[in-house]
Chain A
Amino acid sequence: MHIISPVLWEFLIRWLTNFALFPPEASTVAPQTDALYLFLVFISVIGCGIVTLLVVGFSIMFRHDRNPEATQIEGSTLLEATWTLIPLVLFMVVFVWGAVLYFRIYNPPKNAMNIYVVGKQWMWKAEHPGGQHEINGLHIPTGRPIQLTMISQDVFHSFSIPAFRVKREVIPGRYTTVWFEATQPGTYHLFCTQYCGTKHSAMIGDIVVLKPEAYEAWIESSTSGTSLAQNGERIFAALGCNACHNGNPDSRGPSLANVYGSKLQLTNGSLITADDAFLRDTILNPSMHVTQGFAPIMPTYQGQVSEEGLIDLVEYIKGLHSNDRIQQTLNTTQVSPAQSGTTASKVPGTVNQ
């Protein structure tokens, strides 16, 4: 945006948003997307303009009345090269610019605050780490990078906030993520943009961006009691995970303290990073993700825990830095894996068998 003066740029954007030709620019990445868009519009106008000029101009200059005899011209390699290379170069510029922007939007910064989103027919359920639950909307502060970790409970959906210029598919079976940093307080549209059945167009909501103080106030007033991690701790104990993952030297499962983000060597030889997707996958498909040095005896919890429950567990494990509390629960619950079915069903996030 150093090509045109910042004042002119500001004026252009204001004009476009006022006349509702552009959505409001409400995130840090929005001006970058708008810049690429305007560049693309610019070269399209030039390109279409050239074609229109040529067609109209030649039609007038060489109309039959004026030029009764056509001159046969085979071609011109120079012209072919020119109008091959110039579009190619322009398209490459667009490619690089777009690729950089894409990587920016889909690679979150390390300090992003994570919010989980579960999409289902036909609503969005958002879960803040502090335990606040929201339906069909989000309350977020300005000035902080926010990462959304999303999954669908049923079909493909797509989480779209046009004002932030972000969008990401929400699919069943694995997490997808997107991040943004809001810059302007206000209320903005949230849409589901992947056709998902009858009430696809009703799967919309509001993203409420608040100044940091207002956001804190909202956090205070809407706390539901338990945070995601606290609920995760409860599920961890109820499902009997503590029986094997308790940090004892002779335990049957690896210790989970500080496992999030670490590199793990698996029995199949691969070296992976233990991220959200890995944790979720291991809970559902343990025999494919056995840590080196351990036997493949972890049972699967497919069907016993919902997506929200999985989110709670993942959030819990993320914040696990020591096994002390797990050791305590070992003594108090005395649950063996075989009995876990009975207590588990009363904890939110687990599923009645």
Chain B
Amino acid sequence: MDSHATAIEPADVHESHEHPAYLRHHFETPEQQKEASAFGMWLFLLTEIMFFGGLFAAYLIYRNWYYPAFVAGSNTLKISLGTVNTGVLIGSSFTMAMGVWCAEMRKKSGLVLCLLLTMALGLVFLGVKYFEYKEKFELHHVPGADFSIEKFIHPDDPAKNPPLGPDMAAKTQVYFSLYFAMTGMHALHMIIGISILVFLVVRARQGAYINGYVQPIEYFGLYWHFVDIVWIFLFPLLYLINRHPGR
């Protein structure tokens, strides 16, 4: 794991050895810089896993304790919207990966297009989420003073959604709390990602990432894929609880 650097002479060093313009001078070689940056990004993603981990731990415990409430809560979410969002995110990961390829192939217009597509798909995801949240508000599924357990005690469709006792129905608040906390945190990470994408698009248009320095695109790609993977976990855990009872 040691770096194989040679000793450099002091003073008028800059002109004498060639190195890419993007080499930061505290690194000996571009390879060292690349390895360090990759390591740093993976480590950061590890911290994000620990961050979401707390929420997943809470979910694990409460689903175990209040399974019927979780089933009822999950059944109020629209699978169609969730599936669309899942597809949108997977698509955006694809466009992101294509962006990395374009950068490596030094195709500036391709890179810009892919980044813009990724951004657009991300915004579509957030748009769908906005509608889902709006619906939750209207149905009084947001925990707080306005929360209503009526539809869980007396559901419209008892064959598909068995009625809950009032005590178990009260526990649906925990489900929705976790729903909002988890998807909210996820959406926040998407918003941060999209903001960084804006910056990357601007820089890409200036020709920043097509001269061999693909690291920012690559490592942002890692972050974006991570956010996608979190959703891949959230989707079945939140949307798909016991959708086919008895099967």
Residues of A within 8 A of B (CB): 284-288, 296-300, 302
Q: Does B41 contact A (CB under 8 A)?
A: no
Q: Is the interface of B mostly helix, strand, loop or mixed?
A: helix
B212: chain A residues at CB < 8 Å are: none
Would you give the shortest CB distance from B42 to chain A, in whole angstroms? 34
Asked if B241 is at the interface of the complex by the 8 Å CB criterion, the answer is no
For B168, the chain A residues whose CB sits under 8 A away are 285, 287-288
B240 adjacent to chain A (CB < 8 Å) = no
- Least CB distance, B242 to chain A, in whole angstroms: 15
- Shortest beta-carbon distance, B232 to chain A, in Å? 31
A299 to B66: give the CA distance in the assembly, Å: 17
- A296 touching B165 by the CB < 8 A rule? yes
CB closest residue in chain B, given A282: B167
Known: A296-B165, A300-B170, A302-B170. 10 other contacts (CB 8 A): A284-B167, A285-B167, A285-B168, A287-B165, A288-B168, A297-B165, A298-B165, A299-B166, A300-B166, A300-B167
B164 within 8 A of A: yes
Cα(A303)–Cα(B167), bound, Å: 11
Residues of B within 8 A of A300 (CB): 165-167, 170
Complex-state Cα separation, A284 to B168, whole angstroms = 10
A286 & B170 in contact (Cβ 8 Å cutoff): no
Closest B residue by C-beta to A298 = B165
Residues of B within 8 A of A (CB): 66, 68, 164-168, 170
Which 9 residue pairs across A and B have the least CB separation, nearest first? A287-B165, A300-B167, A285-B167, A287-B168, A300-B166, A287-B167, A296-B165, A286-B167, A286-B165
**Chain A hits for B66, CB < 8 A:** 288
Taking the closest CB of chain B, its distance from the CB of A56, in whole angstroms, is 42
Bound CA–CA A287/B152 (angstroms): 13
Residues of A within 8 A of B164 (CB): 287
**In the complex, what distance in Å separates the CA atom of A284 from the CA atom of B166?**
10
Between A and B, 6 residue pairs with Cβ closer than 8 Å are A284-B167, A288-B66, A297-B165, A299-B165, A300-B167, A302-B167
Q: How far, in angstroms, from A286 to B164 measured CA to CA in the complex?
A: 11
CB distance from A26 to the nearest CB of B (A): 40
Inter-chain CA distance A296–B165, complex, in Å, is 8
List the B residue with the shortest CB-CB distance to A301.
Answer: B167
A192 to B165 CA separation, bound complex (whole angstroms): 37
Q: Please indicate the chain A residues that have their CB under 8 angstroms from the CB of B167 in the complex.
A: 284-288, 300, 302
- CB neighbours (8 Å) of A286 from chain B are 165, 167
Specify which chain A residues have a CB less than 8 angstroms from the CB of B170 in the assembled complex: 300, 302
A286 to B170, CA, bound (A): 12
By a CB distance below 8 angstroms, the chain B residues around A287 are: 68, 164-165, 167-168
Chain A's nearest CB lies how many Å from the CB of B237?
21
CB distance from B159 to the nearest CB of A (A): 17
Which one of A287, A299, A300 has the greatest number of beta carbons of chain B within 10 Å?
A: A287
Chain A residues with CB under 8 A of B166:
299-300, 302
In angstroms, Cα B167 to Cα A67, docked, is 78
Who on chain A is nearest to B166 by CB? A300
